[in-house]
Amino acid sequence: MAEYLNKWFWIKDLDGILDSQECELWRTRHWNSLQCIGDNNDVLTLFYADKDITIHAKKDCVEERPAPKFVHGDVVLITKKNIRATVKYSIWHFNDHYYYYHVVDENGKMLKKRYMADELEKVEQA
C-alpha cells in the first residue's frame, strides 16, 4: 500500500473516477497532478492541494508523475526579479514533461507569467 502514498498522479481514464461530481471536477482541472493521500485496495484517494478537493480513482486508471518541486502555499523568490511570491498551483507540461508554476504576489494578486522551477527558489520560513 505504501507504494502509492504521497506520490503524484494524473488520471488518464475518466472511467476510473468513482463519483460523478468528482469526475466533473476532474474535467475542469485535468492538467493538474494530484497527490495520493489514501490507498484502499484498488482505489486511491487523490488530493488537489490548491482547491482542497479529493478525488477517488481506481489504481489502473492513474499514471504516476514526478513530485513538483514546489507545492501550493510555498513561499518562493522569483530569482531574476528578486520578488517574493506564493505558489498558487502547478501545472504539468504534457509535451516537455516538467511542471510550471503560477504564483501570487505578497498582496495576493496572481502574476501573469508562469514560472519554471529553475526561476524560483524556496524561501524558508522562520
The DSSP line for 43-69 is EEEEEETTTTEEEEEEGGGEEEEPPPS
> Which three cell numbers, joined as nine digits, stand for 56?
477517488
Residues 60 and 84 grouped into a single domain: no
pLDDT at 126: 66
pLDDT at 31: 66
Domain boundary among 65, 87, 107: 65
Residues 57 and 79 grouped into a single domain: no
Residues 90 and 45 grouped into a single domain: no
Q: How far apart are CA 1 and CA 109, in angstroms?
A: 40
Question: Is 1 a domain residue?
Answer: no
Question: Is 39 a domain residue?
Answer: yes
Q: How far apart are CA 80 and CA 96, in angstroms?
A: 23
Question: Is 70 a domain residue?
Answer: no
Reported as type and span, the H/E element at residue 11 is strand 8-11
**Average of per-residue pLDDT values in the chain:** 90
Residues 13 and 55 grouped into a single domain: yes
Strand pairing of 115-116 and 98-104?
antiparallel
pLDDT < 70: residue spans in the chain? 1-2, 29-31, 126
| Number of domains into which the chain is organized | 2
